[in-house]
Structure 1
Amino acid sequence: MSGSATNIVNVIESVTVAAAPSTLQSTAALVSLGGTTAAVNSLSLLTQASDLALIKSGAGNSTELQNNVYAFYGQGAALPLYVLELGTGGTAATLQTWINANLQTVYAFTTPAAWDTVVTIPAPATPTLGTVSGGTLSGATYYVKITYVNGIGETLPSTEASEAVPANSLLVVDSPTAQAGATGYNVYVSTTTGTETKQTPTPIAIGTNWTLPTTGLVTGGPLPTTNTTGSEFAGVLSAFSSPSSRVYFFLLSTVNTYSQYAGIKAANVSVPSPTAASTEAPHVAEMYQFVSNAPSAVSPMRQQDFRFAYGVTAWPLLNNQTTLTELLTANVNVILTGAEGGISNTILRNGTMMDGNDASVWWEALLAVEQQVVTNGVAWGVINPNLPITLTAIPFVTYATANPGDYSKGIYNGLALTCTPMRGFREITFNLTVQL
């Protein structure tokens, strides 16, 4: 603020969108399933593509790892790249366990293509019904169906069972047997066949029976018509969707399997061109761009969309427009040509996570805070929109050196917005507190 100005207002805006301003954002890892000779649950650091030869086993997903390493280092300047060895029996659940035990160690993972499957949980068997004395309800015949649920969705319903329950008694539905991937079950009941509605506000734990409340049936939601339980992998990805989560996954999918990741913040999904070679890895190109960000005053942050990608084949537009529109609308990433803009390079399109946010959205939080302050200030008659509005920022390195305690907590308080108020003062400075 200039020496002639008077600072009478100190406005603090706060937004929380992980991650912290540290080297975490440049930390990427490939997941190995027995593809290296490294110990299980260990990280191996690569600094160039040829380093993989020192640990490559020739087994497991070794070939996939090699393709991914070459794809990563084919994108530009050499960056550190880790390989996380989970062993030949490694699963998405194994990866989740490792991440939870090693928080803020790796920011971005490229996962095995073999995990991109849709293996849904089957419907439960016909439920076993019974009665128990209690309540004052009239006698009735109840028709029942049940479903399994997991962290993603719900199965199709079981076949129908019925039970004649006498007056002053309550219907009891036995828990279905344990099923891999299922975390609970829902109960659907009616007094007429084929019209069951949901009676459980929240799923019942497997192993716990459900008893009809003494108040009787409620009119709940309808029976599901599709199985939305998805794969174990999709369930793991959805576990990292909180605003404070600092883990992202870059995966190769297909036009038949991508939909299971819809809306998941932590998932960056790429579908390769139908003419691409099997060795290509567009999802790795996406990850490289994600971890290579280093914005500065002379090199501002660019959105992930439209960045150049190398060693990948663009989707041919002929006969693929419908599919491309479907994929792009669903926040899936594809490789296209930049020919329309006079560019010979292949480019990343969408550059988004499956929740629709740009993959560089955490950097954009800074701009969001600035814009919100300006918008509010103008709307409230505080800021004059016709005079200069200046945002200043202390470089991360300078700020972190001066405030080491903030660095470890992921706090950056180096933003300030200087503008001219509508009346009374020449300038006013808004100090912007941003926790990323």
Structure 2
Amino acid sequence: MANDVVTINVSTQFAPVADGLQKTGTLVTQGGTTLTPGTKQLITEPSDLTPLLAGALQVTAATWATGTVTVTTASAHGITVGETANWTMAGFVPTGYNGTFQVTATTSTQFTYAVAVNPGTATTMGTVINASVAEVTAMVSTYFAQGSNNSVYVLELGGNTAAEGVTALTAYMVEYPNDAYICVVPRAWATESSYVALVSTYSGNTAMTYFFTTFNSTNAASASAYLGMKSFFGFVEDPSTPVTEFTVAFVAYNILNRSPSNVNKVPPTQYMFGSGVTNGTWKSAQKTQFKSLNLNYVIKGSEGGLTNSILMGGVLGSGIFFNFWYATDWAIINLHLNLANEVMNGSNSTINPLYYNQQGINRLQARAQKTVNSGIAFGLFLAPAVVNAVDFVTYTTDNPSDYQAGEYDGLSASLTPQNGFTHVVFNLNVTDLIG
């Protein structure tokens, strides 16, 4: 008021909303749901998936001739004529017609698949369903077996072949960049050449998308195509893994569920515990092969006296531990966010505006240092880590046009991500001498 002794002027500053990229994951499916291709749905618990699943088709005829079964469905199966897809047959009598097969569409309501031995005349017609239904169900089930704190998206791509799926995901990621931190992809993609090309395009230092890819003991050697790729997380499933499990989804959950803070520090990725997953029974030669290909797998933690399933490896295709890039991504995200926040708030303060001068540079340096210090406290980086800033006079003298443009490129820091132990040697000397 005009006659008041004291007048209070208020200037506001708003804290940034936390960036959720490192908590955002996508489970990719091709035909497993009724979602429109190119759309996704948030899943907060396994039951959220049930109403989205594609239904089974009734079969009106199934015959065998010279090693080939021909199936006729009551309605259109949706596979493009001439293309192949993985479908599951169930409920047939004789049971020789049942199982998951690679089928080839011959008409809109008919497809064929190979069965070497004549199963006999079909007396009871069962149903057929896209094998992706079981796969995406297993992804969701294994993911939430780890906990229920972090939701995940299911992305429907449509198409039948792995190549079609890769094409669809490539287009989706161009349209929606930085849509997910982790993409868990169908098993069939592991040996698809176009998928190798997609993964390689996201292996730059500032790219923040990781492709979780599943191999088995027979195609693991194909992982050599991904050696050196930062964005590739390769995993080998044990041959005894049930169809209800998609093992690598447990790693995705545990990484996405991280919430770095002073009381919730980030642990190493290697030797991560998994719930409800199948322990591998790998031979020594296989383990050596997996290590040479930078592949991850699960075994029982017996060496440490544990019954838990543990992740072996924890590395990306580049051979670097996942935590290295997780910490680096955290720094990129939060330094960007906090410095932009400081500039924007400083441009709207009448009490403490941010100007391009030494005081302004000091404020930016202090904000960046605070962010780095948080990263150290959260278990992401080794201490100490100092944020450097070129002083105002030196920078503007060397770069006079930058001052006119409002450009300042003088901030820098060298950060070393925290690492864990992978091998420990204890040197023991035993003697029969007393004293």
TM-score by length of 1: 0.55
Aligned to 1:64: 135
Cα 1:412/1:236, change in 2 over 3 Å:
farther
Cα 1:404/1:111, change in 2 over 3 Å:
farther
Aligned to 2:195: 233
Verify the 8 A CA contact 1:74 1:310 in the aligned structure 2: yes
Any idea what SS the aligned residue of 1:91 has? helix
Aligned to 2:159: 88
Higher relative contact order (CA 8 A, sep 6+): 1
Query: Which whole-Å deviations, capped at 9, do the CAs of 1:91-126 have from their partners, x for residues lacking one?
Result: 2122111101101221111111111225xxxxxxxx
The letter for the 1-side match of 2:274 is A
Aligned to 1:431: 387
Q: Which runs of 5+ in 2 are unaligned?
A: 1-16, 56-128, 346-366, 374-383, 389-411, 416-435
- Which of 259, 262, 266 aligns to 2:224? It is 259
Any idea what SS the aligned residue of 2:168 has? helix
Cα 1:330/1:368, change in 2 over 3 Å:
farther
CA distance in structure 1 between the aligned counterparts of 2:195 and 2:323, rounded to whole angstroms: 23
Residues 1:50 and 2:50 aligned together: no
CA distance in structure 2 between the aligned counterparts of 1:343 and 1:416, rounded to whole angstroms: 36
Query: Which whole-Å deviations, capped at 9, do the CAs of 1:129-185 have from their partners, x for residues lacking one?
Result: xxxxxxxxxxxxxxxxxxxxxxxxxxxxxxxxxxxxxxxxxxxxxxxxxxxxxxxxx
Aligned to 1:271: 236
Query: Which whole-Å deviations, capped at 9, do the CAs of 1:343-402 have from their partners, x for residues lacking one?
Result: 210011111111112222234349999xxxxxxxxxxxxxxxxxxxxxxxxx99x96896
Verify the 8 A CA contact 1:290 1:359 in the aligned structure 2: no
Q: Which runs of 5+ in 1 are unaligned?
A: 1-19, 119-230, 370-394, 418-427
- Which of 105, 109, 114 aligns to 2:183? It is 109
Cα 1:344/1:88, change in 2 over 3 Å:
same
Aligned-pair distance for 1:309? Answer: 0.7
Trace 1:3-402 onto structure 2 (pairs within 5 A).
22-58=19-55, 59-60=129-130, 61-89=132-160, 90-117=164-191, 231-254=193-216, 255-317=220-282, 320-365=283-328
Any idea what SS the aligned residue of 2:288 has? helix
Aligned-pair distance for 1:429? Answer: 9.2
Aligned-pair distance for 1:314? Answer: 1.4
Cα 1:416/1:435, change in 2 over 3 Å:
closer
Aligned-pair distance for 1:259? Answer: 2.0
> Superposition RMSD on alpha carbons, in Å?
3.3
Any idea what SS the aligned residue of 1:282 has? coil
Cα 1:290/1:412, change in 2 over 3 Å:
farther
CA distance in structure 2 between the aligned counterparts of 1:240 and 1:357, rounded to whole angstroms: 15
Trace 1:406-417 onto structure 2 (pairs within 5 A).
413-415=369-371
Farther off after superposition, 279-288 or 101-110 = 279-288
Question: Could you tell me the percent identity over the aligned residues?
Answer: 26
Aligned-pair distance for 1:278? Answer: 3.4
Any idea what SS the aligned residue of 1:34 has? coil
Q: Which runs of 4+ in 1 moved over 6 A?
A: 366-369
Aligned-pair distance for 1:83? Answer: 0.9
The letter for the 1-side match of 2:49 is L
CA distance in structure 1 between the aligned counterparts of 2:279 and 2:238, rounded to whole angstroms: 6
Cα 1:107/1:404, change in 2 over 3 Å:
farther
Verify the 8 A CA contact 1:270 1:283 in the aligned structure 2: yes
The letter for the 2-side match of 1:106 is A
CA distance in structure 2 between the aligned counterparts of 1:41 and 1:283, rounded to whole angstroms: 23
Cα 1:349/1:429, change in 2 over 3 Å:
closer
TM-score by length of 2: 0.55
Query: Which whole-Å deviations, capped at 9, do the CAs of 1:382-429 have from their partners, x for residues lacking one?
Result: xxxxxxxxxxxxx99x968964859xxxx9552467xxxxxxxxxx99
Verify the 8 A CA contact 1:111 1:250 in the aligned structure 2: yes
Any idea what SS the aligned residue of 2:370 has? strand
Query: Which whole-Å deviations, capped at 9, do the CAs of 1:286-318 have from their partners, x for residues lacking one?
Result: 21122122122122211111110112111225x
Aligned-pair distance for 1:435? Answer: 10
Verify the 8 A CA contact 1:412 1:435 in the aligned structure 2: no
Any idea what SS the aligned residue of 2:255 has? helix
CA distance in structure 1 between the aligned counterparts of 2:372 and 2:52, rounded to whole angstroms: 48
Verify the 8 A CA contact 2:45 2:144 in the aligned structure 1: yes
The letter for the 2-side match of 1:273 is D
Cα 1:239/1:77, change in 2 over 3 Å:
same
> How many residues in Structure 1 have an aligned counterpart in Structure 2?
264
Aligned to 2:407: none
